[in-house]
Amino acid sequence: MAIQPSTFDYLNLLKENNTREWFHANKKTYDGVKANFEETIKALIESIGTFEDMRGVEVKDCNYRIARDVRFSKDKAPYKTWLSASFSEGGRKSGKMDYYLHIQDGESFLGGGMYSPTPEQLAKLRQEIDYNAQELKDIIYNPKFIEVFGEAEGESVKSAPKGYAKDHPEIELLRKKQLFFWHKFTNEEVCSENFVKQVSDVCFTLKPFLDFLNYVFFSEQEPTIIL
């Protein structure tokens, strides 16, 4: 299963002609692009389902609409110029940390992690790092994990977060406001016949990190939120 090269042609044309009039005039082409992407999503649900509980998850539970919500955005372009889907137990609306797939000319990637945490989630993560950072470090500093994802992305506070000493031995991790990873794919990889396997392999490598976050965020422990 592969994404057709014409997908990138269509997305680039949409970027140049991002209007409702152009979109509807080329709806037949979009329908073909969407159908191809949905076939890929279906194959990924099956493949990821070999190591995640994807029972009951359908394509519609993973796929994102191409129409943008422009109500609160300065950019009023009506459509996204990429395709995207996310995969997790219960689907993308479950609230759990998931595998996010992004398809765009020269900018395709698979990513996941703590991107927009709630104050409670951030407090829980910092509390876990303070008590036992080694479990997280064993995951994100594993040589295989680094080979696939490199270093963590995301913003950090400039100094120590409230409630933690500047000389804390894990201060660099505690300073994180975001903690996410991504693996980029070339256009050639996206359009290759083994793309689904490539994505699934990357997801499998990311799984221990997402499992860690889901445990920290959704276990019954109560975080101490310092304002």
Residue 225 in domain? no
Cβ-based neighbour number of residue 92 at 10 Å = 20
Give the count of domains, the chain: 1
Residue 226 confidence (pLDDT)? 42
Residue 24 confidence (pLDDT)? 97
Torsion sign across C-alpha atoms 183, 188, 191, 195 = negative
pTM over 0.85? The answer is yes
What secondary structure does DSSP assign to 60-80, as a single string?
Answer: GGTBPPSB---TT-S---SB-
Residue 227 in domain? no
Query: What is the tens place of the pLDDT at every residue in 66-110?
Result: 999 888 888 899 999 999 999 999 999 898 999 999 999 999 999
Residue 179 in domain? yes
Q: In the chain, which residues have pLDDT < 50?
A: 222-227
Domain coverage including residue 163: 6-218
User: Do 44 and 202 contact (CB within 8 A), yes or no?
Assistant: no
Residue 90 in domain? yes
Beta partners for residue 12, in sequence order? none
Question: Alpha-carbon distance 206 to 217, whole Å?
Answer: 17
Q: What's the angle, vertex CA 108, arms to CA 201 and CA 115, rounded to 5? A: 80
Residue 188 confidence (pLDDT)? 97
Residue 1 in domain? no
Instruction: Report the relative pairing of strands 99-103 and 179-185 from DSSP bridges.
Output: unpaired
Residue 166 in domain? yes
Residue 110 in domain? yes
Question: Alpha-carbon distance 30 to 19, whole Å?
Answer: 14
Residue 71 confidence (pLDDT)? 85
Residue 12 in domain? yes
CA-based nearest residue to 101, from 47, 182, 46, 33: 182
**One-letter amino acid of 182:** W
Residue 223 confidence (pLDDT)? 43
